[in-house]
């Protein structure tokens, strides 16, 4: 009976540690749908996005594609960090690490006010990343919001979301399996995807230290029992 119990404890401990190792694997980004394109000749955000230049491959998403669930996603629960890079547009745009149709718009980046390098840290579950770009409608463009995997929406006179603004767009430039640039087109018509640029980095959510301690403690107990038996 004691041997059965020890074997069961050892098996449980080993299983816990194996599960912990698998769960701690790196989270990765993936692109769902969209269309392959290239960074256009007139792309020039300030500050510029390190490592990205004219001619690099990007994936673009228009309102119709986003409305049917196309966009950028993660494959596991992850820690997510958004970093404001820069902008080109004369109009004022906003980035929120949420779906502005149902969640709070804050914390957010606002062009002309947020310093480049500012970050937003959050967490997310497997599936489409939860973020929105919002054009606030200055400098000859209509106000509206582009939601990753959720579509593009305009704002009516009462600042309520409607479906009138289909000119907004998103482009994604992959940096690595866990990093990408999110590039916003605010609908002014130049389609250069530099009106606001944000970097996203994802990493696995680590298991609580208690899981590792419990597993190693069980293995230690089994080992101690074997030593006592030998003695």
Residues 137 and 220 both lie in one domain: no
Residues 199 and 223 both lie in one domain: no
How many domains would you assign to the chain?
2
Residues 45 and 6 both lie in one domain: no
Residues 174 and 220 both lie in one domain: no
pLDDT for the residue 225: 55
Residues 163 and 215 both lie in one domain: no
* 182: pLDDT strictly greater than 90: yes
pLDDT for the residue 198: 98
Residue range(s) defining the domain that contains residue 54: 26-204
Query: For the segment 64-97, what is each residue's pLDDT rounded down to a tens digit?
Result: 899 999 999 999 999 999 999 999 867 789 999 9
pLDDT band at 103 (very low <50, low <70, confident <90, very high): confident
Residues 54 and 124 both lie in one domain: yes
Cis peptide bond prior to 47, omega within 30° of 0: yes
Residues 130 and 65 both lie in one domain: yes
User: How far, in Å, CA of 145 to CA of 93, rounded?
Assistant: 10
Phi, psi of 94 (to 5 degrees): -135, 145
Residues 178 and 226 both lie in one domain: no
Helix (H, G, I), strand (E, B) or coil at 198: strand
Whole-model pTM?
0.80
What element of type H or E holds 120?
strand 119-124
Least confident of 97-101, 172-176, 197-201: 97-101
pLDDT for the residue 116: 97
Average pLDDT over residues 164-180: 89
Q: Which carries the bigger pLDDT value, residue 14 or residue 119?
A: 119
């Amino acid at each position: 009976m004691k041997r059965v119990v020890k074997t069961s404890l050892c098996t449980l401990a080993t299983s816990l540690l194996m599960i912990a190792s698998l769960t701690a694997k790196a989270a990765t980004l993936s692109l769902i749908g969209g269309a392959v394109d290239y960074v256009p000749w007139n792309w020039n955000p300030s500050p510029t996005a390190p490592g990205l230049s004219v001619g690099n491959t990007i994936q673009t998403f228009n309102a119709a594609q986003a409305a049917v669930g196309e966009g950028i996603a993660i494959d596991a629960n992850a820690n997510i960090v958004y970093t404001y890079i820069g902008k080109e547009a004369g109009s004022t745009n906003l980035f929120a690490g949420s779906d502005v149709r149902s969640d709070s718009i804050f914390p957010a980046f606002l062009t002309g006010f947020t310093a480049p390098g500012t970050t937003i840290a959050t967490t997310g579950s497997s599936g489409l990343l939860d973020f929105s770009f919002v054009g606030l409608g200055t400098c000859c463009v209509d106000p509206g919001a582009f939601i990753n995997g959720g579509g593009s929406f305009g704002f009516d006179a009462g600042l309520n979301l409607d479906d009138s603004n289909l000119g907004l767009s998103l482009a994604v430039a992959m940096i690595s399996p866990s990093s990408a640039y999110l590039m916003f087109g605010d609908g002014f018509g130049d389609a250069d995807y530099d009106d606001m640029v944000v970097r996203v980095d994802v990493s696995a959510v680590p298991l609580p230290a208690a899981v590792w301690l419990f597993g190693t403690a069980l293995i230690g107990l089994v080992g101690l029992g074997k030593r006592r038996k030998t003695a």
